[in-house]
Amino acid sequence: MIVVLRAGCTPEQRIALVRAIEAAGLRARVSEDHHRVVITVGGDEDRIRGVSLAAFDGVEKVVAFKKPYRLAAREFHPRDTVVEVGTDGIGGAHLVVMAGPCAVESEEGIFAAAEAVRAAGATILRGGAFKPRTSPYQFQGLGKPGLKMLRDAGRHFGLAVITEAMDTRHIDQVAEHADIIQIGTRNMQNFALLKAAAKTDSPILLKRGRACTVEEWLCAAEYILNGGNDRVILCERGLVSFDTAVRNQLDLSSVPLVKRLSHLPIVVDPSHGTGRADLVPAMARAAVAAGADGLLIEMHPKPKAARSDAAQALLPETLAALVPQLHAIREIARGNVAELPGV
Ligand code: PEP
Ligand code: MN
């Protein structure tokens, strides 16, 4: 439930309410939006059934929440959340482009990729050190040495870095080396991992499960928010489908839908979303037109030699041509048409 406070509610009245909620073994999260103070009650609401919060001084109304997620809901937080990463604000006015290889393969390779990412005008370097692979015989990533290579390459070229954590035991080392922790599609409902991610202060990029509904995805985000970390970025990366012509069916309708349902920023991964480098630029442009706050794109200096996901990696020059187009589309999508050259 959400407790909406009256405009003139005093700090003492607010404290009394928070104490009553906490005394029932629940969590009270106080937030202020549009000069309105609301307290979101977290936990098993049955524990507070006998207490009428509406009768407390300073309370305007108590709103029962029917959705299975609350902190992720737009109703709870009408304004867009902006997650600060380095000099970028994901969910803010500007589009954020994250790019790099599927996996960190060598020090030389990730430095070459970082240089290309920087030259293309993207600001965040991606690269997996712990790779979730379908077969145990496929390249599994370099592990901890890969994390260090990624961080060093990012630092050298002034790029923030993002990489995946697959296991609760790796969360701390990933948090130490990366600016954003990625939770992959296969782990979207790994609740132990979500809870561990919630204990860090790092931004968490939460990919949509490959066969999960938008509601399940927002519930997964809720685990992280409810655990105390409000720096969540959602990432649409496509769903399994009957059609083998593409690797996944990229659900771009989730972008405007999530914008309605939630205040969290959302980015799109057209690389895993299609599995085909020739389709990535068009789907990246479409994602921005649909309102995405950013892109996560695979790019490899030598795509044919990539040890994973070679078919979907862009060439550096394709990324460099794409990034300015994405920024121009973002301006149109936000209605800043007058700022476009020649418009
Ligand atoms: C990745 O981005 O490296 C990845 C493995 O993606 P997904 O979890 O979407 O398959
Ligand atoms: Mn990949």
Q: Are 272 and 238 in contact (CB under 8 A)?
A: yes
Burial of 263 (0-12, 13-18, 19+ CB in 10 A): buried
Burial of 66 (0-12, 13-18, 19+ CB in 10 A): exposed
Ligand nearest 182 Cα, by number?
1
Ligand nearest 98 Cα, by number?
1
| Top mutation candidate among 162, 181, 185, 249 for ligand 1, by most atoms within 8 Å of CB | 185
CATH 3.20.20.70 positions along the chain are: 83-333
What pLDDT was estimated at residue 42? 79
What pLDDT was estimated at residue 342? 61
Q: Is the CB of 102 under 6 A from ligand 1?
A: yes
What pLDDT was estimated at residue 341? 61
Counting as low any pLDDT under 70, the low residues of the chain are 34, 338-343
Residue nearest to atom 8 of ligand 1 (CA): 184
CA–CA distance, 161 with 178 (Å, rounded to integer): 5
What pLDDT was estimated at residue 338? 65
Ligand 1 atom nearest the C-alpha of 269 is 9
| Top mutation candidate among 167, 193, 207 for ligand 1, by most atoms within 8 Å of CB | 207
Residue 157 Cα to ligand 1 midpoint, Å, equals 24
What pLDDT was estimated at residue 44? 78
What pLDDT was estimated at residue 1? 86
Residue 184 Cα to ligand 1 midpoint, Å, equals 5
Burial of 93 (0-12, 13-18, 19+ CB in 10 A): exposed
Dihedral (CA of 184, 188, 276, 114) sign: negative
What pLDDT was estimated at residue 339? 62
What pLDDT was estimated at residue 32? 80
CATH 3.30.70.1140 positions along the chain are: 2-63
User: Residue 273 contacts by C-beta under 8 Å, 6 or more apart in sequence?
Assistant: 236, 237, 238, 247, 248, 250, 283
CATH superfamily of 83-333: Aldolase class I (3.20.20.70)
pLDDT digits over 162-215, tens only? 999 999 999 999 999 999 999 999 999 999 999 999 999 999 999 999 999 999
What pLDDT was estimated at residue 143? 97
Residue 271 Cα to ligand 1 midpoint, Å, equals 9
What pLDDT was estimated at residue 207? 99
Residue nearest to atom 9 of ligand 1 (CA): 185
Burial of 246 (0-12, 13-18, 19+ CB in 10 A): middle
Residue nearest to atom 6 of ligand 1 (CA): 184
Neighbours of 158 (CB within 10 A): 12
Ligand nearest 309 Cα, by number?
2
Residue 84 Cα to ligand 2 midpoint, Å, equals 25
Class of domain 2-63 (CATH, top level) = alpha beta
Residue 143 Cα to ligand 2 midpoint, Å, equals 15
- Looking at residue 181, the DSSP 8-state letter turns out to be E
Residue 101 Cα to ligand 2 midpoint, Å, equals 7
